[in-house]
Amino acid sequence: MFTVPCEETLRSALALHQAGRLHEAEPLYRQVLAVQPNHPEALHLLGVIAGQVGKHEIAVDLIRQAIAAKPFFPEAYSNLGIMLHAQRKLDEAVAAYRQANALKGNDHETYNNLGVALAEQGLADEASIAFRQAIALHPNFPEAHNNLGAALKDQGLFDEAIAAYRQALTLNPAFAEAQSNLAVALEAKAHPAATAQR
């Protein structure tokens, strides 16, 4: 008998959350959980708020509870990856991103996040694959092109890296990181021995 009021409360909370009014959304999510303690969406979104305010351990716990209540929950796995990544738990973050992609393999941001985590583990070749998947899903994604460039540069593939950085800048000419990365890659290609000695 509580289902409809809970769903109305959840919708109100989500609207506040999306508007950035986290302190107003949080008690509404908690109202839902007071009635339905294992409500997966409320647990997940409360976890997202915890992460947004820097409480990553609490966020991980809440999102894991959401997944326990609703195992087929790709968005929760993706956000779990983000929270674990923020704690530098890269192996666990990669596993969470991979699970999100296994459940719903069409989220370009999750593939990009997976690539970043893999790159931070020194796995540039695997990172390149993830960035290419992100780009295949969303070709106009400058961050993924820039990240692909970085992974290719780490593999010594300077021509491909330069092309990726240039594509990022075609999509976003004001992308300062891509501008800097392009300059570094061009220098490395022109003077590989000098770059290697640095």
CA distance 67 to 194: 50
Distance of alpha carbon 198 from its chain centroid, rounded? Answer: 32
Query: Residue 194: pLDDT band by 50, 70, 90 thresholds?
Result: low
- Give the pLDDT score at 105: 83
pLDDT 10s digits, 65-88: 999 999 999 999 999 999 999 999
Domains with residue ranges and CATH for the chain: 1-9+17-91 (1.25.40.10)
- Give the pLDDT score at 198: 44
pLDDT 10s digits, 131-157: 999 999 999 999 999 999 999 999 999
Amino acid at position 170, single letter: T
Nearest to 137 by CA among 99, 108, 100, 97: 108
CA distance 192 to 195: 5
Q: Provide the Cα torsion 14, 15, 18, 19; round to 10°.
A: -140
